[in-house]
Structure 1
């Protein structure tokens, strides 16, 4: 692995069973869109909570599950600077996500993690940051954004471009409004043509085209991109055209993972395992990977 992306610390001897989850209590839940929900999850005790936050870095993921139903891989959508609980955001797409969505406040789900590598934000101190996200792929960047904003003085300018198919498909609307109101964040929102409402004040257009219009200067700027594969496919060439170095452009691969610990082989890409060597990669790394899905 390149030093540009950092792997999580090895598990302690206390965690002998790498597949053993812990019970997490649903402390809150909210609907982001008609089919996307955020769960706020509390740890069963201080020991588990401390152990998690000693290891967790933004960009890592966990496996969230229901006994008898299975597990799903989601990023941890909250930052390590807020240590009272964690959050995950997901779209209902099958049996397990339907079961997770049905959990009421006070009920439990299972969780194991954090797994994978992370965004190396400690290397970005003093740098400008450009976040480009589409649709349901904002959660991984949301964790980074809040981590940066909670330590705002350590970083340069922050620009966020977020797009969705329609206004109704924008997630974290309350937080988007909060970011938009800040004088130290430059937020641009866009929806696809035809997805706007009568009172929409954002851009109308696809993310790659809007990015070319509003992107900041590439000098001393780190770019982070998360979105549907088709969006990433057309966004990365725009960043390259604008002069953003491949080594300073980050994205994530998340759709292949199953076990989370490099045992099942499902996420193998060449000699790498996305769940262990990723999910965070630079574009420079992706160029060297055979058939990396973006």
Structure 2
């Protein structure tokens, strides 16, 4: 048996959801049922997805570990590989290896109130943790979800945003940078939503995921509200080419993001030179 850790496992596309004009969510199942059973992951871990003869790229797992028998990847069309993936249909095969990364500390968060702040496709890895929390709702306190997109047409997971808002002790607010004639919701940066909710920073752990330019501003506002550095958790982006700490592409501050990240608490991010 080939046990090369860089060898992808074949997986079949079972379903595709068009989230926006340039983002699709793919439901995948490994062709080997035993491989599917072995595949266990944490929220915010990622896989390397490949198309033979085209290339490979790291993509966050957006499904929740509480949902067994498949995995979901939400992929934005941004280059050659993702363009090819967007042309695939149910029944087509891709390669998957992983999962990689440390993931969100879901078990450590039991009993805490949770704040999620997402921008754009950054809602994808947070969706994994949010659905984990919703599937284990009795283990967690209040939940507040703040989401920002460029335009109404760029909002992902619209059905789930509505469903989450209907869950007990859960508040969901979202905004767009630019509205359109039909948009009647909030317009402005996602950080503005922080001032529209009631929360006690001492009881909350905050999770941030979105464009790199967004994250420092959210962290600054959370600190101003009184959040402790260790209670602010975010993801760091760096090109994770191999996923197993061999190639060195994602080395930052002496740590391999693909292995010791991509999830870090803010006090850890500062040690890596974040914000300097």
Matched, 1:48 2:35: yes
Distance in 2 separating the partners of 1:84 and 1:197: 39
Which of structure 1's runs of 4+ aligned residues deviate more than 2 A? Answer: 180-184, 197-202, 212-215
Q: Could you say what the CA RMSD is over the residues aligned between the two structures, in angstroms?
A: 1.6
User: Which of 22, 26, 36 is the matching residue for 1:39?
Assistant: 26
Matched, 1:23 2:6: no
Which residue is equivalent to 1:133?
118
Matched, 1:255 2:242: no
- Residues 163-220 of structure 1, C-alpha deviations (whole Å, 9 max, x = no match): 111111110111112112334310001111xx22344343221111222332522122
Distance in 1 separating the partners of 2:39 and 2:182: 43
Q: Which runs of 5+ in 2 are unaligned?
A: none
Partner SS state of residue 62, structure 2 = coil
Distance in 1 separating the partners of 2:240 and 2:2: 21
Alignment CA distance shift 1:215-1:276 (3 Å): farther
Distance in 1 separating the partners of 2:181 and 2:199: 29
Partner SS state of residue 256, structure 1 = coil
The total of aligned residue pairs comes to 276
Which residue is equivalent to 1:203?
186
**What is the TM-score normalised by the length of structure 2?**
0.96
8 Å Cα contact 1:188-1:202 kept in structure 2: no
Q: Per-residue deviation at 1:52?
A: 0.6
Structure 1 residues 73-82 or 15-24, which shifts more? 15-24
Partner SS state of residue 27, structure 2 = strand
Q: Which runs of 5+ in 1 are unaligned?
A: 1-13
